[in-house]
């Protein structure tokens, strides 16, 4: 479920961790737990495949500390994704804007 979103989230966290925490290969412990948390939230998302991207979601299923961490990751990695993984980034933002228009 939400495989595309999962990939994008993981890539954003990896990008953030590599740029900010410089752990070399893999994620640092903190980012690894954030990554697991984000994937678990996507897995359990009540909207399933029709979910809005987490930035526009109305449920806000994240705990507040995880929420502020993922927000920082998105702010950092969002614009960079366009250069590194343009296709996935565009799909992600396209889904987001499409859902905004539906409201
Ligand atoms: Zn990290």
pLDDT confidence of residue 54: 62
Please give the distance, rounded to the nearest whole angstrom, from the Cα atom of residue 88 to the centre of ligand 1: 22
Residue 29 has pLDDT above 60, yes or no: yes
Length reported for the chain: 103
Q: What is the pTM of this model?
A: 0.78
Model confidence over 56-67: pLDDT tens digits?
666 667 888 898
- Exposed, middle or buried, 70 (CB in 10 Å: 0-12/13-18/19+)? buried
Question: Given pLDDT bands bounded at 50, 70 and 90, which one contains residue 91?
Answer: confident
Question: How buried is residue 32: exposed, middle or buried, by Cβ count under 10 Å (0-12/13-18/19+)?
Answer: middle
Ligand 1 centroid from CA 53, angstroms? 22
pLDDT of 1 strictly over 60? no
Ligand 1 mean position to 63 CA, how many Å?
Answer: 19
Alpha carbons 60 and 21: distance in angstroms, whole number: 27
Query: Please, are residues 38 and 70 in contact by the beta-carbon 8 Å criterion?
Result: yes
2 confidence band (pLDDT: 50, 70, 90): confident
């Amino acid at each position: 479920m939400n495989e595309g979103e999962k990939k994008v989230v993981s890539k954003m966290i990896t990008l953030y961790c590599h740029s900010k925490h410089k752990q070399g290969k893999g994620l640092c412990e903190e980012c690894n737990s954030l990554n697991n948390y984000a994937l678990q939230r996507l897995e359990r998302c009540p909207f399933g495949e029709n979910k809005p991207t987490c930035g526009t979601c109305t449920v806000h299923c994240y705990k507040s500390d995880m929420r502020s961490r993922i927000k920082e990751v998105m702010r950092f990695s969002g614009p960079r994704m366009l250069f590194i993984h343009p296709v996935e980034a565009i799909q992600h933002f396209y889904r987001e804007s499409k859902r905004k228009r539906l409201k």
